[in-house]
Structure 1
């Protein structure tokens, strides 16, 4: 199960990288870049699966539920912003993309710095 957990972690990080890269590259001409929706959904689903595996005791250490809750709220906020920008292209402004990039960076910082 550790191998499955590690594979999910790699996919999780790739999903967040797609979202951050898409947001940053689209700042000049604001739009939701192709793949950003898939990236955030990948990050969200793999994150939930990793928490399930860790909580069951099958892989990794027991997760900090407060930390996971905060990360989930941030991930849902990013998902909502990407979905709105994807479904209504006129809403995809620099502000929306900046919020997506900032919240994505925040989620990564929480993962790395919260002990």
Structure 2
């Protein structure tokens, strides 16, 4: 079971890398307002959502005590991010504030994952 959990943790981290990497690569363009939702951001958010749910289930099956409040907060933030990137994925330009909010929510999710015990 540990190997399976570790594979999904790795996939979850790859998802966050795709989402945050797609956002960070456009930081220079943020000052000009010429930013858009990269396909990697949509796919990264989807991968994070799917692997997050799978990880919760696998850990529950392995009798690991989970912080349901933390997972709920992270899940709500992630669903918000997913909706935001999905709705604007085909637009040529995304408003600066909207794009910045995606990055801030993503970083908030990372901070919650790493610091909330």
Work out whether the TM-score is over 0.5.
yes
Stretches (4+) displaced over 3 A: none
Deviation of 1:34 after TM superposition, in Å, equals: 2.5
Q: Is the 8 A contact 2:15 2:47 kept in 1?
A: yes
User: Which residue of the partner structure matches residue 106 of structure 2?
Assistant: 104
Aligned residues: 112
Give the distance between the partners of 1:102 and 1:79, measured in 2 at CA. Answer: 13
- Root mean square deviation of aligned Cα: 1.4
TM normalised by structure 1 equals 0.90
The residue aligned with 1:79 is: 82
**Contact 1:9–1:46 (CA under 8 A) maintained in structure 2:** yes
Is 1:19 the equivalent of 2:13? no
- Aligned match of 2:67 in 60, 64, 87? 64
Partner of 1:114: 116
2:56 is equivalent to residue 51 of structure 1: yes
Question: How far did residue 91 of structure 1 move?
Answer: 6.2
**Matched residue SS, 1:16:** helix
What is the distance in 1 between the residues matched to 2:2 and 2:42? 28
